[in-house]
Amino acid sequence: MTGKGRRPNVLLITCDQWRGDCLSTAGHLQVKTPNADALAAEGVLFKRHYGGAAPCSPARACLYTGLYQMNNRVCRNGTPLDARHGNIALAARSVGYDPTLFGYTD
């Protein structure tokens, strides 16, 4: 938090086909990622996070909804989220944040 009563800024980065152990902050000895390392130093770095499904779009759906693939029904790339399910963006909006998505939207 930046001051009394102020909410923290939130930046959620999800990367497609990028191994998390390929960050110098996660212990990789040859790859240098100073900007990602700086973000991780000021925030939270999940060193043992695993995708809830495969391929990438179903995995993102699991992360964003908190539901297993069999419940969120996103079984392949290109399948939109069912509007009946909540997601992290809707939860953020409900408490006053203005979430923005860049990149993949399936």
First-to-last alpha carbon distance for the chain, in angstroms, is 32
Give percent helix, percent strand, percent coil of the chain, each to the nearest 5. 30, 0, 70
Dist CA 81 CA 87 (whole Å): 9
Q: Note if 56 is an active site residue.
A: yes
Q: Which of 15, 22, 56, 75 is catalytic?
A: 56
Q: Sign of the CA dihedral 102, 40, 21, 50?
A: negative
**Could you give the residue numbers annotated as active site?**
56
